[in-house]
Amino acid sequence: MSKHRKHKPSNTKRFIALTAGVSALVGAGAVANAGIAGAQGWSASCGWEWPVGGSLSQGYHAGHDGVDFAVSVGTTLHAPTSGTISVAGPNDPGGYGTYIQLEADTGEQIQMGHLSDTWVGVGQHVEVGDEIGATGNTGSSTGPHLHLRIHSGGAVDPMAFLSSVGACDTGSSIVPAAAPAPAPAPEAAIESAPEPASAPVVEPVSSESAPAESIPETESRVSGEEVIVAAGDTLSGLGAERGLSWQQVWDMNPHIVDPDQIFVGDVINL
C-alpha cells in the first residue's frame, strides 16, 4: 500500500528564479543567487509546481545537467507535474542514491535524486503536487539537498523550464482545508469604566526587506588557508563561512573536477 499522502503543506515562501536572469547566468557558467518565490496562491489549473521550496545551492552548467536545492533531510517532495513513476527506490549506482523518475504526461522525463524515502511505486500515476517522497543525502552527495533533472528532448535547465511553464508554488494544487469558524466572543459585563488615556502615537518601522542581491562577478582570491574536508562539507558551505561563493572556492581549487563531489580528506584551498 502506498504511503502517498495529501495534507496542507507549510506556507513557506518558495524559490522561483526569473527566466531572463537564468539564461544570462547559464551563459556565464554561474549559479543564480538564492531567492524567494513570488506568491502564486492556490490554483486548480496548475499543470506544474516546484517540487520543494528552498535555496538554490547549485545551478545548471557544464558538467552539472540539473539544479540542486538546499533542503533538510526529510523535506516533503511534491510531484512537479502529473505522470507515471518509472523508478522509485535506492537503486542508482551512478550517484543519485535513492531517487524517483517520473515520466510526465506531457512527455518530459524528471529525475529527483539523493532522497531519504520514496512514497510511491513503479507504475503508479500521480498528480501534480502529490507528496511522493522525502529529500535526503544519499548517493554521491556532500550535503542534504535535492538534485532535480529534467529531460525534454535532452537535458534542459530546470529553473528556466519551470519558470517558462508558469510553475506554481510547492503544493499549491492541494486544496487547503477550510478554516474553522471562530467561537463567538463572550458578552462583556455592562459596567461603567473610566476612559483610558490616549496612547502616544508611534510611527511604524518599515519592515520592507532588502532586495536579494545577485552574486557579484569577482576575481578568484586565495587566502592561503587550507581546509581538510569533513563529513557533510560542501563548497558552498565552506565558502559561505569565509564570505565566498562556491564558484570562487571552485576556481581556487582546479583539482576539483565536479563541484558537487568533494570527499572526506580532500584538501581545499581557501
Per-residue pLDDT tens over the stretch 41-50: 334 478 999 9
pLDDT surpassing 90 at residue 126: yes
Chosen domain end from 147, 164, 181: 164
Per-residue pLDDT reduced to its tens digit, 240-269: 888 888 778 778 877 777 777 777 777 878
By the 8 A CB rule, do 129 and 46 touch? yes
Instruction: Tell me the average pLDDT of the chain.
Output: 73
**Boundaries of domain holding 255:** 226-269
Residue 262 pLDDT: 79
Q: Assess whether pLDDT exceeds 60 at residue 203.
A: no
Are residues 263 and 135 part of one domain? Answer: no
User: What is the reported pLDDT for 150?
Assistant: 96
Q: What is the mean pLDDT of residues 32-55?
A: 60
| 12: in domain | no
Q: Give yes or no for residue 65 having a pLDDT over 80.
A: yes
Compute the average pLDDT of residues 92-112.
89
Q: In this model, does residue 223 exceed pLDDT 70? A: no
> Is pLDDT at 235 greater than 50 in this prediction?
yes
Asked if pLDDT for residue 192 goes beyond 60, the answer is no
Per-residue pLDDT at 3 exceeds 60: no
Element containing residue 89 per DSSP (H, E): strand 83-89
- H helix intervals, the chain: 19-28, 158-164, 235-240, 246-252
Question: For position 194, what pLDDT does the model report?
Answer: 55
- The CATH number for 159's domain is 2.70.70.10
Regarding predicted confidence, which is higher, 172 or 205?
A: 172
CB within 8 A of 102, min separation 6: which ones? Answer: 79, 80, 81, 83, 84, 85, 86, 109, 110, 111, 112, 126, 132
User: For the ranges 21-30, 79-88, 227-236, which has the lowest average pLDDT?
Assistant: 21-30
Assess whether pLDDT exceeds 90 at residue 200.
no
For residue 52, is it within any domain?
yes
Residue 219 has pLDDT above 80, yes or no: no
> Quick one: DSSP state of residue 145?
B
The answer on 149 and 249 residing in a single domain is: no
pLDDT at 26: 34
Does 157 fall in a domain? yes
Q: Are residues 128 and 250 in the same domain?
A: no
232: in domain: yes
Residues 155 and 238 in one domain: no
CA distances from 122 to 86, 97, 102, 207 (A): 5, 16, 9, 48
122 falls within a domain? yes
Sorted by sequence, the CB contacts under 8 Å of residue 44 that are 6+ apart come out as: 173, 175
**Are residues 249 and 216 in contact, defined by beta-carbon separation less than 8 angstroms?**
no
- 249 in a domain, yes or no? yes
The pTM of the whole model exceeds 0.75: no
Percentage above 70 pLDDT, the chain: 64
Task: Quick: pLDDT tens for 134-179.
Answer: 999 998 888 899 999 999 988 999 999 999 999 999 888 876 555 5
**Using alpha carbons only, how large is the chain's radius of gyration in Å?**
23
